[in-house]
Amino acid sequence: MADLMASSIPVALTIAGSDSGGGAGIQADLRTFAFHCVHGTSALTCITAQNTLGVNRVDALLPEAVKAQIEAIVKDIGVHATKTGMLLNQEIILGVAEAVETLSLKQLVVDPVMVSRAGVQLIDDSAVAALRDFLLPKASIVTPNIYEAQIFAGLDINDINDMRLAAEKIHKLGVKTVLVKGGALKDNLRGADVWFDGERFEILRTATVDTTNTHGTGCTLSAAIVANLAQGKDLFSAVKLAKDYVTNALKYALQIGQGQGPIGHFFPLLLNTHSSL
């Protein structure tokens, strides 16, 4: 692995899919890294044809191509922190898990990206099993939404107590730290997340933002955690700062396209122009 001590610039790596609409995936991750003054590198796993109305097509890259991208980055530039997003299938997941192990990638944030915020499963059962058995145990933190947490924990989630129980069960899968995201819950529970690191539970809340333009929130949260880790923040602080960042980006979400727009990753630049977006 490259000597990171030779550079004072924090470097983050995202291993995820491309969103042609620019709201989530690799595009959201790189914007989030840039906002935090972190150099962003990427390894694409798949290419999507999508817009604000939905996904029209997905094409997976070969696992060997995904691993080659990761190796090229790590062996030359080096990486302070890494995240995974959409990995799409069992073969890619196994390849990424192998790369994480052989290249000794530390500070790994796993955003499962296996069930949408609307509850639609995005990857098949064999991929879910590979993610659970081979990648989650290598993660510093995993950030499932409630639907993903339900699958990993094997229980229904309707409130904070259910989230706590799910976090505990997921931790027993070998995950160091779990952040169960409550963005899909209703009323005053919306946006409340549960943290569990094997010793303590924390309920993390931020102000609720009333907007339908929420595309990319999960990708952005995990990318912001990685960016803060790359800067040297401890994990709990990185999570809290990431939640604050996403909340602010939601306040300046973009009303573009005919469907669900993305959040405003560069919200300070939108302060004077937001009313016209």
Q: Name the residues annotated as catalytic.
A: 181, 214, 216-219
Q: Which helix (H) or strand (E) holds 82?
A: strand 81-84
Contacts of 72 (CB under 8 A, 6+ apart): none
Half-sphere exposure of 204 (CA within 13 A, CB side): 22
Classify each residue of 27-58 as buried b or exposed e, where b means 16 or more C-beta atoms within 10 Å of its C-beta.
bbbbbbbebbebbbbbbbbbbbebbbeeeeee
180 vs 71, 189, 260, CA distance in Å?
A: 30, 12, 23
Cβ atoms of 112 and 131 closer than 8 Å: yes
d(CA 58, CA 143): 23
